Protein backbone atom coordinates (compact mmCIF):
# COMPACT_ATOMS: atom_id res chain seq x y z
CA UNK A 1 0.00 0.00 0.00
CA UNK A 2 1.33 3.45 -0.92
CA UNK A 3 0.69 6.46 1.34
CA UNK A 4 1.43 10.17 1.06
CA UNK A 5 2.87 11.47 4.32
CA UNK A 6 2.74 15.07 5.54
CA UNK A 7 5.14 15.74 8.44
CA UNK A 8 4.86 18.46 11.09
CA UNK A 9 7.60 19.05 13.64
CA UNK A 10 7.30 19.73 17.40
CA UNK A 11 3.95 17.93 17.58
CA UNK A 12 2.81 14.43 18.50
CA UNK A 13 -0.09 13.01 16.49
CA UNK A 14 -0.94 10.54 13.72
CA UNK A 15 -3.99 10.88 11.48
CA UNK A 16 -4.84 8.65 8.51
CA UNK A 17 -7.42 9.42 5.82
CA UNK A 18 -7.57 7.05 2.82
CA UNK A 19 -4.04 7.20 1.35
CA UNK A 20 -2.91 10.30 3.28
CA UNK A 21 -1.05 10.22 6.62
CA UNK A 22 -0.50 13.35 8.68
CA UNK A 23 2.08 12.83 11.40
CA UNK A 24 3.66 15.00 14.07
CA UNK A 25 7.11 14.15 15.34
CA UNK A 26 9.46 15.43 18.04
CA UNK A 27 12.79 14.40 16.46
CA UNK A 28 14.92 16.88 14.58
CA UNK A 29 15.58 16.22 10.88
CA UNK A 30 19.26 15.50 11.51
CA UNK A 31 21.02 12.31 10.33
CA UNK A 32 17.72 10.58 9.51
CA UNK A 33 16.34 10.74 13.07
CA UNK A 34 13.01 12.20 11.90
CA UNK A 35 12.58 9.48 9.27
CA UNK A 36 13.29 6.79 11.89
CA UNK A 37 10.63 8.25 14.20
CA UNK A 38 8.11 8.39 11.34
CA UNK A 39 8.70 4.74 10.47
CA UNK A 40 8.44 3.67 14.14
CA UNK A 41 5.16 5.55 14.68
CA UNK A 42 3.55 4.19 11.53
CA UNK A 43 4.72 0.63 12.34
CA UNK A 44 3.25 0.92 15.84
CA UNK A 45 -0.06 2.22 14.47
CA UNK A 46 -0.42 -0.65 11.98
CA UNK A 47 1.18 -3.17 14.42
CA UNK A 48 3.75 -4.27 11.85
CA UNK A 49 7.53 -4.49 11.74
CA UNK A 50 9.51 -1.37 10.88
CA UNK A 51 11.16 -3.36 8.07
CA UNK A 52 7.78 -3.52 6.28
CA UNK A 53 7.85 0.27 5.78
CA UNK A 54 9.99 1.97 3.15
CA UNK A 55 10.29 5.66 2.35
CA UNK A 56 10.10 5.76 -1.46
CA UNK A 57 10.65 9.51 -1.91
CA UNK A 58 10.99 12.67 0.12
CA UNK A 59 13.80 11.57 2.44
CA UNK A 60 14.72 15.22 3.06
CA UNK A 61 11.24 16.71 2.67
CA UNK A 62 8.15 17.26 4.83
CA UNK A 63 6.15 15.49 2.14
CA UNK A 64 7.03 11.84 1.68
CA UNK A 65 5.79 8.77 -0.16
CA UNK A 66 5.98 5.54 1.83
CA UNK A 67 5.20 1.96 0.92
CA UNK A 68 3.91 -0.58 3.43
CA UNK A 69 4.42 -4.18 2.39
CA UNK A 70 2.48 -6.98 4.06
Q: Is the pTM of this model over 0.85?
A: yes
pLDDT in tens, 4-59: 999 999 999 999 999 999 999 999 889 999 999 999 999 999 999 999 999 999 99
What is the DSSP-derived secondary structure letter of residue 26?
-
CB-CB contact of 19 with 2 (8 Å): yes
Say if residue 2 is exposed, middle or buried (CB neighbours under 10 Å; 0-12, 13-18, 19+). Answer: exposed
Domain 2-68 has CATH 3.40.109.10: no
- Residue 70: pLDDT band with limits 50, 70, 90: confident
Strand arrangement, sheet containing 2-9 = 13-17, 20-25, 2-9, 63-68, 53-57
Domain boundaries, the chain: 2-68
Amino acid sequence: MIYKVQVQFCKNFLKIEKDQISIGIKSNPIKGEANKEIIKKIAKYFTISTTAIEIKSGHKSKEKIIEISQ
